[in-house]
A and B are shown apart, each in its own frame.
Chain A
């Protein structure tokens, strides 16, 4: 079926396109304008047409997302006709689709829990999904590094884990930190040693950076640094950026590191000020680096992280006063409920810093919008955040409603920049798609997957981006006037990577010894999804 999306303002930063025009779709793909009469015309007059949104970092599946629901039944509760971003996978898919998002990546899939994570991802409808395989605290990897087994062995183990868990990329979470926590540590930085292995966090990070490059994984190593959320955490991010030595690196939820210690001699007691200018400046000097924001929004949420050392340290701030640390087979996970208070000085400053990071961005394609859902707040806040980025007046009104410290310790009030629609598309479409190496999305050029969002162009950008006028997934209309009209099931994207047979044998023996279960127990076969064709292969870089 040939479809013409007619007369909308088409925004595609990858083609420098911002003009009234048409987008043509056939067989699930964007095609060049056609001479044939379309079988269907979607009237987009008065609308903005963009590629479907792409999410790079949102905790939407996995053991810790499950645990958060079990810890906080009140947070995930369902109400009639009110889908909940902390609720079921179905609600998550619905809420993303309504905002015009069509792809979402769960960034924390531990290989030991890959099957459950993939089963859960497959139950998120309307979106294409993917998971990042988490490495960096597992005994098998740390053994290889300690025994100096060589870069090829590390590469082969990473490849095997990606292939077995059917991941889209690789993530490292406070490399070695979870292991150090199990041995009693409560502080851990880049050059600290994991006690039982005599390895620094830097050594582990280096090994993984090299492996991801050697395997030509499209998505760069996705890094959660040490010291998240502490005053002086900006040093951790900057040191980690230097440690990458030019290799591609992605920093997760950078806002949570953009905290300069006010008192350098007593960093933990002197409070913090924005380090957003320092991070933006570092980003402009390092074209190898990208980040996502982890914007804070106000209200009750649950923080979910595999950084169990950090979660344990943060336990006393739990609100309500209950929390979980699961010291699992590698990272495990920690759930600490938290309420960002809109009249609270700390939360307000965090809120300002996130916006500042985006407004100071040297390149919106490299500073991707996330709330690190649900850690900074739910992803459903994106429309409001985009509104604030696009409207200086609205931003000033918002800032005036918060404690003065937010304006005093950040440069937000002085920033005049207002994001254009093209920059919004870079922040939420072309940037994240490029970052994930998904060349078939994030743009509207011929050949693109026909994942398309049509928004009514209106001054109230929050309303505009909250409920899309139309959303197409693979060419089929799934949203009309902000409501789901067709329950497409989407695919799970997994990287095609060859696992080395020798490493598979070694790993099988290792797993048998440690778990009493071999490699096949850890696999994610198609047969686990009977009656469905869930996975779609993504190629490595050439």
Chain B
């Protein structure tokens, strides 16, 4: 069984009908999570447009720390592969980079492309650092915190701070590097920290090359931002309540909307693992889950896990791009491939989230008038 209503297993079609009824009765629905393959996220945006829902990815807060800084000042960035290939200096900000694989990978080799090729690679840490497994030079962030330290560093690099300073040596190293890379987690340094970092990097490029490299969130947020941009002209969060897309990161925060009683139904999309919000228990919700238990929400429908049960376009952290991921599981009972099956298409019996959402859209388009009574399923 892969579908449930009120925790009771039902056939899939019954759950889809109940989901359609729940959404059809809603006056202010929110689609949240959006931790899924691009096709499913796209289908969610399409359905949201039709029924006037707002959309908020689970990655919303950390994503917006970066998007907010980007929209206020711009950025100079690079990719993980370019950092591996070209950087002679890597500065890791805070604690988050040390929890990712990228620091270890960067420490393992030196630059091989561009003018720094053949040099050694220096690893520096500001306001964080590893357990000693990776050799690096650590600089303290100071009592004012990481964001303030980035601001001080920018002042030092630009020559605006006179006299000796604990970060003066770090500033000198950044200026002397041929290709510097600054690793950071937007969620950790915040919008203000990201904005100062972007300013620091831009200043450095007056005389050398240095680029920021944000660590992606683990919830497909950077792919969702792209789908949002081409579907609405804006980054997330977005609402279609008035017919046309409106971008408002505060207003369409699902957590805030649920707490304020502004939503009367929700669709939680997570074909990949994502932490469930607490409001899923109180707001009538349809949950499309890759790993369902059945009692997570009013209506639960199991969907194929992208990259395992079906081929999918997913955010690829090492490439920092939307990339094709072939399914991992091939059918064991099927020694020979079905010649009718497209490569990368879902295995028999698997419901991709995009197909469920398309079915919901077809059902809702067939009975577009809101009908509150039908919401009680």
- Per-residue CB contact flags for chain B residues 346-377 toward chain A (1 = under 8 Å, else 0) read 00000010110010000000000000000000
B273 interface hit (Cβ, 8 Å):
no
If the complex has contacts A514-B81, A529-B39, are A71 and B209 also in contact, measured as CB distance less than 8 A? Answer: no
A530-B76 in contact (CB<8A): no
Interface residues of A in 165-183 (CB under 8 A from B): 179, 182-183
A327-B233 in contact (CB<8A): no
B235-A528 in contact (CB<8A): no
Bound Cα distance from A29 to B86, whole angstroms: 53
Which of A79-87, A199-207, A274-282, A492-500 interfaces with chain B?
A79-87
Bound Cα distance from A386 to B115, whole angstroms: 48
B77-A183 in contact (CB<8A): no
A391 interface hit (Cβ, 8 Å):
no
B355-A88 in contact (CB<8A): no
Interface residues of A in 319-344 (CB under 8 A from B): 322-329, 332, 335
A531-B233 in contact (CB<8A): no
A46 interface hit (Cβ, 8 Å):
no
If the complex has contacts A123-B42, A325-B76, A517-B323, are A70 and B352 also in contact, measured as CB distance less than 8 A? Answer: no
B311-A527 in contact (CB<8A): yes
Q: Closest CB of chain A to B128's CB: distance in Å?
A: 24
Bound Cα distance from A113 to B230, whole angstroms: 15
Which of B23-31, B65-73, B274-282, B293-301 interfaces with chain A?
B65-73
Contact for B230 among A89, A182, A328, CB less than 8 A: A89
Report A-chain residues with C-beta under 8 Å of the C-beta of B246: 78
Bound Cα distance from A80 to B246, whole angstroms: 10
B230-A528 in contact (CB<8A): no
Bound Cα distance from A131 to B70, whole angstroms: 27
If the complex has contacts A87-B233, A528-B38, A529-B39, are A119 and B324 also in contact, measured as CB distance less than 8 A? Answer: no
Bound Cα distance from A196 to B111, whole angstroms: 12
Q: Closest CB of chain B to A80's CB: distance in Å?
A: 5
Which of A398-406, A440-448, A518-526 interfaces with chain B?
A518-526
Kindly state the interface size class of chain A when it binds its partner. Answer: 35 or more
Secondary structure type dominating chain B contacts: mixed
B268 interface hit (Cβ, 8 Å):
no
Contact for A139 among B75, B85, B310, B355, CB less than 8 A: B85
Bound Cα distance from A139 to B178, whole angstroms: 18
Report B-chain residues with C-beta under 8 Å of the C-beta of A335: 74
Bound Cα distance from A123 to B342, whole angstroms: 21
Q: Closest CB of chain B to A368's CB: distance in Å?
A: 25
B122 interface hit (Cβ, 8 Å):
no
Contact for A517 among B113, B229, B318, B343, CB less than 8 A: B318
A73 interface hit (Cβ, 8 Å):
yes
Report A-chain residues with C-beta under 8 Å of the C-beta of B73: 322
B188 interface hit (Cβ, 8 Å):
no
B319-A112 in contact (CB<8A): yes
Report A-chain residues with C-beta under 8 Å of the C-beta of B38: 116, 119, 528
Nearest residue (CB) in B for A330 is B82
- Per-residue CB contact flags for chain B residues 105-142 toward chain A (1 = under 8 Å, else 0) read 00000000111010000000000000000000000000
Bound Cα distance from A527 to B344, whole angstroms: 6
B81-A70 in contact (CB<8A): no
Contact for B67 among A63, A70, A327, CB less than 8 A: A70
Please indicate which of the listed interface residues A78, A84, A332, A531 has the most CB atoms of chain B within 10 Å of its own CB: A78
Contact for A522 among B67, B211, B323, B358, CB less than 8 A: B323
A76 interface hit (Cβ, 8 Å):
yes
B247-A77 in contact (CB<8A): yes
Nearest residue (CB) in B for A335 is B74
Report B-chain residues with C-beta under 8 Å of the C-beta of A66: 225-226, 229-230
A530-B321 in contact (CB<8A): no
B62 interface hit (Cβ, 8 Å):
no
Report B-chain residues with C-beta under 8 Å of the C-beta of A115: 313, 321-324
Binding site for A on B (CB under 8 A): 38-39, 42, 67, 70-79, 81-82, 84-86, 113-115, 117, 178-179, 205, 208-209, 211, 225-227, 229-235, 242-247, 310-313, 316, 318-319, 321-326, 342-345, 352, 354-355, 358
Minimum-distance CB pairs A-B, first 8: A87-B233, A527-B344, A76-B233, A322-B74, A116-B322, A66-B229, A183-B115, A78-B244
A-B residue pairs in contact (CB < 8 Å), sample of 30 = A66-B226, A69-B235, A71-B74, A76-B229, A77-B233, A77-B247, A80-B242, A80-B244, A112-B319, A116-B322, A119-B313, A119-B322, A179-B114, A184-B115, A184-B208, A322-B72, A327-B76, A327-B209, A329-B81, A329-B82, A514-B85, A517-B323, A520-B324, A520-B326, A521-B324, A525-B311, A525-B343, A525-B344, A528-B324, A529-B39
